[in-house]
A = this chain, B = another copy of it.
Amino acid sequence: MAESGRSLQARALLQQCLRAQLQVRPAEGDAAAQWVEIDNFLYACFSLPLVLFSSHSVNTLLNVKLSETENGKRVSILDLPGNILIVPQATLGGKVKGRNVQYHSNAGKEEGLELYSQFVTLCEQELAANSKCAEARVVVEHGTYGNKQVLKLDTDGPYTHLIEF
């Protein structure tokens, strides 16, 4: 967690969902839009790479006990195990200035893409290294960086949590 006196490096928003559809490529000419779809229990993680999410911070995101099981007990997404959907949301780094929002803290476009790709890879590696996840064949799906994140969510209580690093 970001402590006072230390500047914010990254911000992630976690939501528990039943089902989600995310557009990964918009329609173009005759080509229909492409979507990824996940059901079963899953976590939609709206992340903002301001600075690199370290493997430690990814470990925190995946191991914190936020997912509710059928009997009401809270376990981590790795323990559930559940699928993961990562949605880049640069807007999460915005700061209100008067009536406008400024995004000066965000990484630039190229750097942002690199940090985002690293974040996705770190999540995939954590899941691959977890025997329960490997056995259940859970997947990591993610949005296309820079695209409009056309998203449909279906939740049974989103349990929205904000985690900052």
- Size class of the A contact interface (CB-based, 8 Å): 35 or more
A150 and B161 in contact, given A63-B99, A65-B99, A101-B66 (Cβ under 8 angstroms): no
Query: Are B160 and A65 in contact, with the CB atoms below 8 A?
Result: no
Q: Contact check, B160 vs A155: say whether CB atoms are below 8 A apart.
A: no
Q: Mark A90-111, 1 if CB is under 8 A from B, else 0.
A: 0110111001110000000000
A149 to B1, CA, bound (A): 26
B residues near A159, Cβ cutoff 8 Å: 89, 91
Q: Digit string of A60-85 for contact with B (CB within 8 Å is 1, else 0)?
A: 10011110000000001000000000
Shortest distance between the CB of A81 and any CB in chain B (Å): 15
